C-alpha cells in the first residue's frame, strides 16, 4: 500500500517518477487522459482552511474518473472525540483513498496505518509534500533540471514548507539555503536526518546571492495565530523585495506557495512582477497531484 505522508521518507526515485508523470498529465489534460480512479470514491478530511489544495484535489480526483467527498473534520464525530484509528477503520471500508489536512503529522500517519487505503498528507504542521513536489515541477518546467541549482528560502524557515524543501533538496541534489532568524530555522535533528547541501543563516543577503530561485511562505502559519504579533516583529527583516532580488541571479525565479501577504513576506511590486510564475505554480498543484493520485492508484 503506497501513501504520500512526508518527503522525509520518500525516495528520490518516487519523487522523480511523480515529477516526470506530472509533465505528461499536464500535457494531456482534457484530451485522452487515463482514468486510474474510475469507480473509486476519495474522502478529503480537512481541519484547516484551504483554497488551492482543496480545489486542486477535488478537480483532480474527478478528472481521473473518481468521485470525491469533502469532509470538514469538525462535522465528523472526529470533532467530538472519536479516535482517528476508528474513523480510519470506518472510512477504509467505504472509500478508496484519503487526502488529509490537519495539525499533527502523527494523525495522518495513524490514519494511513489503520485505514488500509492510500493516504495523502495535504499539509500538517511538519510537512507540505504535495506543495514542494509541485514547486520543483514548476521550477523544472521553467529552468530545466533542479539538480545542482540553488534555492533560497526566506522567512519562517521552521514551518512545514521549508522542512519539506529540506528533504527534497537532500533527495534531489540541489543546494537549499534558509535565511531566517535562528529561532525560525529547522531543528538540528531535522537537518541531520536530511543530510544534503542545506545551510541556514540569519544573513539574508548572503543566502540570496547567486540563487536560481527565491521562495517564501507566510510568516504566520495556520495554528500559529496566537504568536502573530511576535512573529511579524521578529521576521520583519526577512522580506523578498526588489533590493533583495538584485543579489540573486538575473533570471532568478520567485515563488510563493500562497496565500501571500503583501508588505510582509513579500512586497507587492515583487509579487506582481513574478505573478505569472506564482500562479502557474498554483495551477501546477492540479497537475502534480493528479500524478500523485495516479502513482498511488498504480
Ligand atoms: N498553498 C496551499 O496549500 O494553499 P491552500 O492553503 O489554499 O490550500
Ligand atoms: N506554512 C503555511 C502554508 C500554507 C499553505 C501554513 O501552514 O499555514
Residue with cell 467527498: 69
Question: In degrees, to the nearest 5, what angle opens at C-alpha 165 toward C-alphas 252 and 257?
Answer: 65
**HEC per residue, 185-221:** CCCHHHHHHHCCCEEEECCHHHHHCCCCEEEECCCCC
Cell output for 257:
506557495
- b vs e for 24-48, b when ≥16 Cβ sit within 10 Å of the residue's Cβ? ebbeeeeeeeeebbeebebbbbbbb
Q: What is the Å distance from ligand 2's center to 225 Cα? A: 12
Cβ neighbors of 19 (< 8 A, separation 6 or more) are 133, 136, 137, 140, 288, 291
Active site residues: 101, 128, 131, 217, 257, 285
Judged by its nearest atom, the ligand closest to the C-alpha of residue 258 is 1
pTM above 0.75, yes or no: yes
Residue to probe by mutation, ligand 2, list 55, 218, 235, 278, most atoms within 8 Å of CB? 218
Does ligand 2 have an atom closer than 6 angstroms to the CB of 156?
no
Does ligand 2 have an atom closer than 6 angstroms to the CB of 53?
no
Q: What is the DSSP string of 215-268?
A: EE--SS-TT-GGGHHHHHHHTTT--B-HHHHTTS-TT-EEEE-S---BTTTB-H
Q: Which atom of ligand 1 is nearest to the CA of 48?
A: 6
The helix or strand, by DSSP H or E, that contains position 273, with its residue range, turns out to be: helix 268-273
Nearest residue (by CA) to ligand 1, atom 7, is 51
Q: What is the Å distance from ligand 2's center to 83 Cα? A: 25
Residue to probe by mutation, ligand 1, list 52, 128, 286, most atoms within 8 Å of CB? 52
Judged by its nearest atom, the ligand closest to the C-alpha of residue 129 is 1
All structural domains of the chain, each given as residue ranges with its CATH number in brackets, are 7-127+285-297 (3.40.50.1370), 131-282 (3.40.50.1370)
Nearest residue (by CA) to ligand 2, atom 7, is 221
Handedness of CA 123, 266, 234, 180 (dihedral sign): positive
Q: Are 139 and 163 in contact (CB under 8 A)?
A: no
Nearest residue (by CA) to ligand 2, atom 8, is 221
Written as tens digits, the pLDDT of the chain (298 aa) is 999 999 999 999 999 999 999 999 999 998 989 999 999 999 999 999 999 999 999 999 999 999 999 999 999 999 999 999 999 999 999 999 999 999 999 999 999 999 999 999 999 999 999 999 999 999 999 999 999 999 999 999 999 999 999 999 999 999 999 999 999 999 999 999 999 999 999 999 999 999 999 999 999 999 999 999 999 999 999 999 999 999 999 999 999 999 999 999 999 999 999 999 999 999 999 999 999 999 999 8
d(CA 287, CA 19) in angstroms, rounded, equals: 10
d(CA 172, CA 167) in angstroms, rounded, equals: 9
Residue with cell 490537519: 102
Q: How many CB atoms lie within 10 A of CB 205?
A: 12
Does ligand 1 have an atom closer than 6 angstroms to the CB of 53?
yes
The reported pLDDT for the residue numbered 164 is 98
User: Mind listing the pLDDT tens digit for each residue in 219-261?
Assistant: 999 999 999 999 999 999 999 999 999 999 999 999 999 999 9
User: Which residues are bridge partners to 193 per DSSP?
Assistant: none
Q: How many CB atoms lie within 10 A of CB 269?
A: 11
Q: What is the DSSP string of 137-187?
A: HHHHHHHS--TT-EEEEES-TTSHHHHHHHHHHHHHT-EEEEE--GGGS--
Amino acid at each position: 500500500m503506497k501513501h504520500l505522508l512526508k518527503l522525509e521518507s520518500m525516495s528520490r526515485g518516487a519523487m522523480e517518477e511523480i515529477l516526470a508523470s506530472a509533465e505528461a498529465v499536464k500535457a494531456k489534460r482534457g484530451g485522452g487522459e487515463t482514468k486510474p480512479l474510475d469507480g473509486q470514491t476519495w474522502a478529503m478530511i480537512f481541519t484547516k482552511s484551504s483554497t488551492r489544495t482543496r480545489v486542486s484535489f477535488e478537480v483532480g480526483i474527478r478528472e481521473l474518473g473518481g468521485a470525491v467527498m469533502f469532509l470538514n473534520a469538525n462535522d465528523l464525530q472526529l470533532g467530538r472525540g472519536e479516535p482517528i484509528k476508528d474513523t480510519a477503520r470506518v472510512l477504509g471500508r467505504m472509500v478508496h483513498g484519503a487526502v488529509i489536512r490537519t495539525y499533527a503529522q502523527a494523525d495522518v500517519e495513524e490514519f494511513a496505518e489503520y485505514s488500509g487505503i492510500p493516504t495523502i498528507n495535504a499539509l500538517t504542521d511538519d510537512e507540505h509534500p504535495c506543495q514542494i513536489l509541485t514547486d520543483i515541477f514548476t521550477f523544472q518546467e521553467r529552468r530545466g533540471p533542479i539538480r545542482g541549482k540553488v534555492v533560497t528560502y526566506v522567512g519562517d524557515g521552521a514551518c512545514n514548507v521549508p522542512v519539506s524543501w529540506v528533504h527534497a533538496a537532500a533527495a534531489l541534489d540541489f543546494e537549499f539555503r534558509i535565511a531566517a532568524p535562528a529561532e525560525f530555522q529547522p531543528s538540528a535533528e531535522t537537518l541531520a536526518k536530511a543530510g544534503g547541501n542545506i545551510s541556514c543563516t540569519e544573513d539574508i543577503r548572503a543566502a540570496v546571492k547567486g540563487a536560481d530561485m527565491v521562495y517564501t511562505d507566510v510568516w504566520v502559519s495556520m495554528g500559529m495565530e496566537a504568536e502573530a504579533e511576535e512573529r511579524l516583529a521578529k521576521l520583519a527583516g526577512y522580506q523578498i523585495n526588489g533590493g533583495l532580488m538584485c543579489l540573486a541571479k538575473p533570471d532568478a525565479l520567485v515563488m510563493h506557495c500562497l496565500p501571500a501577504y503583501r508588505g510582509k513576506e513579500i512586497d507587492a511590486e515583487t509579487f506582481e512582477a513574478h505573478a505569472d510564475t506564482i500562479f502557474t505554480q498554483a495551477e501546477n498543484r492540479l497537475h502534480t497531484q493528479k500524478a500523485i493520485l495516479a502513482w498511488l492508484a498504480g
